[in-house]
Each structure stands twice: as C-alpha cells, then as structure tokens.
Amino acid sequence: MEDIHGLLRSHRSIRKFYDEPLPDETLVAIVRSGQSAASSSNLQATTVIRVRQPETRARISELAGGQQQILTAGAFTVWCADLHRTKLACEMAGGTMTTGMTEQFIIATVDVALAAQNAVVAAEGMGYGICYIGAIRNDPQTVADLLELPDHVYPVFGLCFGLPAQDPEVKPRLPVEVVLKDDVYCDDDIELIRAYDETLRDYYRTRTEGTKDSSWTEEMARLVDGERRPHMREFLARRGFELR
C-alpha cells in the first residue's frame, strides 16, 4: 500500500473524468470505508445517495453552477446528515427524540464530513479521483425534493468519484506552523501568511498559464465579505434543524 502520508498529501480535486461508470461494488467498498470513520456516540448520521438518473444529475449540475464533473464522473453521490434514522431508532426503543438541538446538528454534520473524507482516502488509494460539490447548497430545497429527503435530513455536499482524466498539481496549503499551536492560540502568523500568499499566487499563475493571479488572503476576503447562502438557516429550520 502506498505510504499513507504521501497519499493524503497528494490529494487534488479532479474535475475531468474518463467516461467510465464506477462499478457498484467499488462504490460499496468506498462507502463501507467511510462508515468506519469516527462517529460521535455511534450516531452514524450519514446517508449517501448515488444519483444515477441523467436528468437528476443534469438538474443538480445546473443548481451547482453548471459544474460538468457532476455529469461526467463515474459516480455522483450526495452525502446527507440524517437524523431521520436516529428519530426512527429512538421511537423503536420506545422514546421520543428531542428535535432541533444545535448539538444534534453539529454532530450529524461532523459525522458526514468524517465519513466522506474516509471514503475519499479509500477512493484515492484505489486510483480514483474525487471532487466535493458544496454548491449543491445553492438550492438545497430543490436537491432535497429531487432526492425525496424526509424531514431531519439535509444534503451537506455532493461528491464525485471516477477515473481522473487530468493530472493537476497539488495545491499548496498553509504552513503547518500557522495551523499547529502550542498550548494557546498564538496570533503571530502574518508574515507566514504573506509568504503563503506568494506561494499560492505562483501556483495559480503556473496552473492557469497566467490567467489567474490571486492570493489566499484575497480569496478569503472575497469569500467572507458579505452574506453567503443566507437561505441555509431557514432551509435547515424547515428540515427540523431549528438550532436551539
């Protein structure tokens, strides 16, 4: 098996795939590996829906800003935080689930993220490429309707799997010294972040042959300056995640 550190550090988002469906047994193996991720109190709040219908994939691609990898990947899946099953389990045991708690929302969402990343590592270890699709949250209600999600379930992100038809460079990450702290939060990272800005700017220039000239701080300013998907709070409340 490839060195695990090398595998993890070689991750890239793949947006071009060969036209070859992912075998069912391969996806089953990948999802089983996802299920082995840590789960708070064994909640196991992850449900994965493989979207096979071309018209449904086309509609989700449209909602996600026209991302073509949704259409071309060997498998397109939607990863959902699922407290509907938890509610059912509670009722089977003769109890009544207290709904709408913020803690429930957090642990269910974290469960999905942990399971998906396990699945990603499993897929990449088998030679497949992946691409997360957070943009399904542009219109989560339509996605929920398309997938017939019950209350207490919401789509967290999409995830493409397939044989990669491109070999992009690995995107540089922040220096580990910015991320790893000793004892307390030491806020003295400005110079390291400035150096990372130039590293990322060089990466973008090389990858795009000079058509993209941007730094990490510039991208973060665009990301968080203003509201982003403000509809999510109302949507989550309608799904039973009132967050109290």
The two tokens of residue 90 are 């509670």
Q: Which two tokens stand for residue 207?
A: 């990858």
Q: How far apart are CA 218 and CA 20, in angstroms?
A: 38
Cβ atoms of residues 133 and 79 within 8 Å = no
How crowded is residue 149: how many other Cβ atoms within 10 Å of its Cβ?
21
Round to whole Å and give the CA distance between 106 and 3.
32
Question: What's the rounded mean pLDDT across residues 81-92?
Answer: 97
Strand, coil or helix: 125? helix
Q: Residue 2's pLDDT band (boundaries 50, 70, 90)?
A: low
Asked if the model's pLDDT at residue 57 lies above 60, the reply is yes
d(CA 55, CA 50): 13
pLDDT digit string (tens) for 111-135? Answer: 999 999 999 999 999 999 999 999 9
